[in-house]
Structure 1
Amino acid sequence: MSACLASSAYALANDWHLALEHAIHRLQRIDGANLGLIYFSDRFNGVSAALIERLRAATGVNDWVGASGIGVLGAGEAELDAPAISLMLFRLPADSFRVFSGRNPLPRDFAAYGALIHGDPATPDMSDLILDMASKVRSDNVCGGLASGHSKTLQIANAPLNGGVSGVAFDERIRLVTGLSQGCVALPGSWRVTGVEEAVITELDGRPALKVFREAIGPALGADLRRATRNLQVGLCAEPGVQRAFAVRHITDFNLRQGSFAINDQVSEGQHLLFVKQDAESAASDFRQMLLGLRQACPEPPVAGIYISAAGRGAALFERDDSEVAMIGEVFDQLPLCGFFASGEIANCRLQGLTGALTLIF
């Protein structure tokens, strides 16, 4: 049986005092709680230090990590572009975790086995920072998300901060299991990039990239490229032939004369890619498949869940902003849950995009 305990709460109100007090009131108190998570609407960025000060006074928990978001979520509740706060309290074994940031790096003598991290989307070398963090843990579970906001974003690592990455690392007594939903289904086929100029893909398997794209999606969509990009994206493969190991990227431009297309990421020659379809039906199917697979992988009932969804999902992809958390509740009943809508998701030690990542804690 796990040595961890957790409780969560979500509250929505235009006034930050009301939102915070409602969330605190709804939290189930845990004797000996020693770690807190907070995700808050970017509307409350200006009072982030006051949020942490009040939480410490109300809960007795000194260590807090989290991030701002254009929307936050909790058990059964989620809303984009709304003034809300989502909280979680943990009681973890003594000395089983360390909060870290650029100001307070992870101690070298701490044996980290996994980490929940948050990052600044304006940091240009974010993928490298995530890989660096992955090199410091003894498992392949670095999860989390990039803070989001309409203008400014914030991270919390015992204080509000900007830039780089921050978060909390856990030792071997805390187990993390992460499931990733790409929100899409792969079309048949995969190709090797044989011609590329940074983010512009000119050739696939030695043929004009745009011609390959049109053949893959069929004549109806191939004749209307603007319509095609509403529901079709590129999946950059982590490994050739591994259908679910890909990162979804947007197609940003077509060059009919050159026979190329551009995506919103750097591409390397020799990298493999596929094309994916993303719509409400595909997203719901993929999400349920991820949840059921995650449940089967659970060694025991989880103590808590942290769900981080892309800011481009919610009602834009599903029926409602809370559709994803409703499905989580159907599979993991009564699970304490918190999270936010991110500008980039971190799962399996990689920066993702347009995904939903559920991390279960044991």
Structure 2
Amino acid sequence: MKRFALAHATHPQWRMAAALVLAQLRAQLALPEHAGAPGLALLYITDHYAEAAHDILDHLSAELPEVTDWAGTVGVGIAATNVEYFDEPAMAVMLCDLAPDQYRVFSGVAPLPAAHGGAGGFVAHTALLHADAQTPDVAELIAEMAERTASGYVFGGLASSRSDTVQFALGSGGHLSGQGAAGGVFHGGLSGVAFGPDVALVSRVTQGAHPVGRTHRVTAADRNVVLSLDGEPALDVLLSALGVSLDEPQVAMTRLRQTLVGLTLDEPQGAGITPQRPGAFGPEVLVRHLIGLDPMRRGIAVADVAPVGAQLSFCERHVGAARADLIRVCAEVREELEPELLSVEAAAMAGAAGAEGPQAPPRMRGAVYVSCTGRGGLHFGGPSAELQIIRRALGDVPLVGFFAAGEIAHHRLYGYTGVLTVFADTA
């Protein structure tokens, strides 16, 4: 496996952006450290280009005939190495040097086979998912897709767009019978690319919320309405944790609008889940909106089902916590891939410092980063600050991704998180 080729550009006209991207890719493919004819491309566009999605895919695939498979989606922002394009017309393409028998592009007309095997003996070990947030029961479909992989781990995100919500899924493996006319641009459902067991990946979830007060146990609930916590009325527990009273509605509502809920379901640890760290959220916590109050029953309404027995923490978005956790996961990824080159402490110091940081470890071939739309823009303190933290910690690894309406990792749908996945050389 060689270094992945990456190109990105912004321009009011998509054809001009595509020309810039193609020029960058061709220059890189001529270098010895890049594969000359990679078969898989990951394509991400901002929603400014969404209406031209078919034309963009047709143009790029015609200009890069050696690329046989395409996957990607749209976002209000997209990511590339050291830079984000947020609320501006842009596209990014990464060409992945992977063995053809170690990946499969899938969609509604070319579904991913079950974990026990499919056509040609391909077995999905993990998968990059792109999904439409308007798809009914999307969280359940994500869990079902995870079951179709041998590891039970998938990663990706929900497309975000203020116009057309599109997904790219053009595979060389063909379609279901009767679907031969289907193109490579889809609306709704799920699509993506599955990877075989020989594709080495390291993936981490970074949280963007910070707990407020202690963790509680849900002791009574009516689907998404939590009625009691630790045997006490949930609304009373919430007001006490925030230090507000409904007798001062303006003050209370201001604080309540800033409050989120972190849910931890009582499930066996697995699929890479690590225990929650004191004073911070781990990947076992699902951050959800607080969507209402139920004064009659002294309950609170959460934007998810909160079963009895689940753990619940009140939380709020916190820039400092988000920065620290992103530095932590970057350091863990780097330490796992190249422990002899850089310790976790050294990688964390590089990420926290303002310097350019170390070179990318030689085993890193490329990366995908999916971040929440609520984390993009200036949330980290300045334009592209989130991507610059990754660059300082990991080095100059080719990275592509987008800002999502919900992030996917393990078998779950997250919010206010970032999902970082690095492709590594197995040598």
TM range (shorter): over 0.9
Q: Would the alpha carbon gap of residues 349 and 298 (structure 1) be closer, same or farther in structure 2, given more than 3 Å must change?
A: farther
CA distance in 1, matches of 2:293, 2:100: 55
CA contact (8 A) 2:368 2:420 kept: yes
Structure 2 residue aligned with 1:194: 219
Structure 2 residue aligned with 1:309: 371
TM-score by length of 1: 0.93
- Is the partner of 1:268 in helix, strand or coil? coil
Partner letter of residue 137 of structure 1? T
Structure 1 residue aligned with 2:153: 141
Structure 2 residue aligned with 1:38: 43
Structure 2 residue aligned with 1:226: 253
CA distance in 2, matches of 1:277, 1:119: 26
**Equivalent residue in structure 2 for 1:96, among 85, 92, 102:** 102
Deviation at 1:21, TM superposition (A): 1.2
CA distance in 2, matches of 1:270, 1:125: 23
Partner letter of residue 262 of structure 2? G
Once the two structures are superposed, residues 131-177 of structure 1 have per-residue CA deviations (whole angstroms, 9 ceiling, x without a partner) of: 11111111142001111101330111010001211111111110222
1:165 aligned onto 2:190: yes
**Equivalent residue in structure 2 for 1:262, among 282, 286, 301:** 301
CA distance in 2, matches of 1:12, 1:221: 48
- Is the partner of 1:214 in helix, strand or coil? helix
- Is the partner of 1:213 in helix, strand or coil? helix
Any residues of structure 2 matched to 1:54-133 within 5 Å, and which?
54-59=59-64, 60-107=66-113, 108=118, 109-133=121-145
Once the two structures are superposed, residues 83-126 of structure 1 have per-residue CA deviations (whole angstroms, 9 ceiling, x without a partner) of: 11011001112311111111111242321111101001101211
CA contact (8 A) 1:237 1:246 kept: yes
Identity of aligned residues (%): 34
- Is the partner of 1:187 in helix, strand or coil? strand
CA contact (8 A) 1:202 1:208 kept: yes
CA distance in 2, matches of 1:222, 1:324: 40
Partner letter of residue 328 of structure 1? I
Q: Would the alpha carbon gap of residues 106 and 199 (structure 1) be closer, same or farther in structure 2, given more than 3 Å must change?
A: same
Q: Would the alpha carbon gap of residues 305 and 230 (structure 1) be closer, same or farther in structure 2, given more than 3 Å must change?
A: farther
CA distance in 2, matches of 1:136, 1:115: 9
Partner letter of residue 147 of structure 2? S
1:355 aligned onto 2:383: no
CA distance in 2, matches of 1:220, 1:202: 18
CA distance in 2, matches of 1:289, 1:222: 41
Q: Would the alpha carbon gap of residues 217 and 286 (structure 1) be closer, same or farther in structure 2, given more than 3 Å must change?
A: farther
CA distance in 1, matches of 2:125, 2:247: 47
Deviation at 1:321, TM superposition (A): 4.2
How many residues end up aligned between the 2 structures? 360
CA contact (8 A) 1:279 1:317 kept: no
Q: CA RMSD in A?
A: 2.1
CA contact (8 A) 2:51 2:164 kept: no
- Is the partner of 2:377 in helix, strand or coil? helix
Partner letter of residue 52 of structure 1? L
Deviation at 1:270, TM superposition (A): 2.1
1:211 aligned onto 2:236: yes
**Equivalent residue in structure 2 for 1:284, among 323, 346, 349:** 323
Structure 1 residue aligned with 2:353: none
Larger radius of gyration between Structure 1 and Structure 2: 2
Q: Would the alpha carbon gap of residues 317 and 260 (structure 1) be closer, same or farther in structure 2, given more than 3 Å must change?
A: farther
List structure 1 segments (4+ residues) > 6 angstroms apart after TM superposition. Answer: 220-223
Structure 1 residue aligned with 2:311: 272
Deviation at 1:194, TM superposition (A): 1.9
TM-score by length of 2: 0.80
Deviation at 1:40, TM superposition (A): 0.3
Structure 1 residue aligned with 2:7: 9
Partner letter of residue 224 of structure 2? A
Any residues of structure 2 matched to 1:248-259 within 5 Å, and which?
248-259=287-298
CA distance in 2, matches of 1:191, 1:322: 36
CA contact (8 A) 2:209 2:416 kept: no
Once the two structures are superposed, residues 247-292 of structure 1 have per-residue CA deviations (whole angstroms, 9 ceiling, x without a partner) of: 1111122234432221222222222211223222222122212222
Name the stretch that deviates more: 291-300 or 259-268.
291-300
CA contact (8 A) 1:308 1:357 kept: yes
Structure 2 residue aligned with 1:154: 166
CA distance in 1, matches of 2:266, 2:241: 20
1:48 aligned onto 2:48: no
Name the stretch that deviates more: 189-198 or 76-85.
189-198
